[in-house]
A = this chain, B = another copy of it.
Amino acid sequence: MTKHAIDGSASPTGHASRRRFLTGTLAGGLVAAGGSEAFAQGRKKKPIGPNPDNQPPNVPDWSKTLGDGVADHPYGKPSKYEAHVVRRDVEWLTASRQSSVNFTPLHELDGIITPNGLCFERHHGGTADINPFDHRLIVHGMVDKPLIFSMDDIKRFPRYNRVYFLECAANSGMEWRGAQLNGCQFTHGMVHNVMYTGVRLRDVLEEAGIKAGAKWLQVEGADSAGMNRSLPMQKALDDCLLAFKMNGEALRTEQGYPLRLVVPGWEGNLWVKWIRRIEVGDMPWQAREETSKYTDLMADGRSRRFTFAMDAKSVVTNPSPEAPLKVKGRNIITGLAWSGRGKVTRVDVTLDGGRNWQEARIDGPVFDRSLTRFYVDFDWQGQELLVQSRAHDETGYVQPSKVELRKVRGVNSIYHNNGIQTWLVRANGETENVEIS
């Protein structure tokens, strides 16, 4: 029996009868260090529980004493009662601490903004801790005049503010071969959604002058991996940003401080962090992360490559294995939908594994290529549920089932799994990652 922690701490232990554990590689060369069930990184703190002395008709402690003053926390942090709301990694997924990934606790969030402290991380050589005074962006190759920009130089181009989701191509990658990770933090938590402030990549390139025949860029980070990818010029000129702020403040170190590339709707690996170099050329560079990794191995042994755009996808975040139903009666089903090809136009939810679908209520801003929040207000009388959500986007695309997706793509890939997720809610409210055929 799968254990569910009511306090919200992660306990995504596998359910052997229902899951086959994937061995092999994940997300850019990460070797699975073992298929055991003991992979929850979660800091298992004892939750701080209720105390009737602080409930009515008693006057609670916090109403009787002066609390902290305004000078005590120049930069604030979450309440101690929210200590379980953290990014978590999965130890057996990672061969090294620095080439690894952690996951956003989607089941603990609401709305569409991901707080900066909870944006998932994916590093290929650890976090570069850059002094912005010394950071430089070099633009060279097929340009009229190669240029070196300081951060101050960059910030003097016209600025733009846009909310975009960033999803790792390997998000849900462990689920290609069957329901495996028991929590939406782990199945879908390699996505975040932030308001970026930055300048147009187009404006920076045009300052250097793009030569005729230029069709691709090499974009490269200043981390120890020198993470590099090839980016089509057309996309670069269309909507890419060089961002220096996220959600109003400077980028976080682990998100590319002081400068990252924003590639709206496209896989996260292209959003090069700590960007230090842009080389203009006429062909892709065939970098490691677009040949060995971030390609989609098909059933016949061939690979799909340069599969940049993230197709429409959604997930119910509550209920989910880390956020079971607690009481009968009025309840909220909520989740997130997104598409790398435009706005989400509709989300359907089923409670019975797809026999009946209802349209969810979308609430909050609906931006182009942004997370979109949906809700279903419903009355739960303790019946078993098979909960799924299905996103539609403005191109007319409808999120496929995993069965449909595997028919086309097979099960060899790690990337671009946007299949419909199923949660089984049991009569006691416990919720589990399952698949239905």
Contacts and interface: CB of A to CB of B under 8 A. Distances in A.
Interface of A: 41, 43, 48-52, 54-56, 60, 62-82, 85-89, 94, 96-98, 100-102, 108-119, 121-123, 125-136, 138, 148, 152, 155-163, 195-197, 222-224, 226, 245, 247-254, 257-258, 274, 276, 326-327, 329-332, 334, 361, 363-365, 367, 373, 375, 377
- Interface of A: prevailing SS: loop
A136 B55 CA distance: 7
A89, A96, A111, A327 interface centre (most CB from chain B within 10 Å) = A111
A48 B131 CA distance: 8
30 contacts: A50-B133, A54-B134, A60-B135, A62-B129, A62-B223, A63-B128, A63-B223, A66-B224, A67-B126, A68-B129, A69-B100, A70-B89, A70-B121, A71-B97, A73-B87, A74-B88, A76-B254, A79-B130, A81-B131, A110-B161, A111-B245, A111-B247, A111-B248, A113-B248, A115-B115, A118-B248, A152-B326, A156-B332, A160-B363, A247-B247
Nearest to A76: B117
B121 A62 contact: no
Residue with the highest number of chain B CB atoms closer than 10 Å, among A49, A66, A138: A66
A382 to B, nearest CB: 16
Contacts of A162: 364
Contacts of A327: 152
Contacts of A76: 87, 116-119, 252-254
Contacts of A367: 365
A41 to B, nearest CB: 6
Given A134-B50, A159-B375, A249 B109 contact: yes
A210 B163 CA distance: 40
Contact of A111 (B43, B77, B112, B197): B197
Contacts of A156: 329-332
Contacts of A252: 76-79
A378 to B, nearest CB: 10
Given A56-B148, A63-B226, 14 more contacts: A50-B133, A60-B130, A62-B224, A63-B128, A63-B223, A68-B253, A69-B96, A69-B97, A79-B258, A85-B249, A112-B248, A115-B248, A118-B248, A158-B377
A78 B247 CA distance: 12
Contacts of A55: 134, 136
B224 A65 contact: yes
A309 to B, nearest CB: 23
Contact of A102 (B71, B79, B116, B361): B71
Q: Give me the 3 closest cross-chain CB pairs, A-B, nearest first.
A: A69-B97, A161-B364, A67-B126
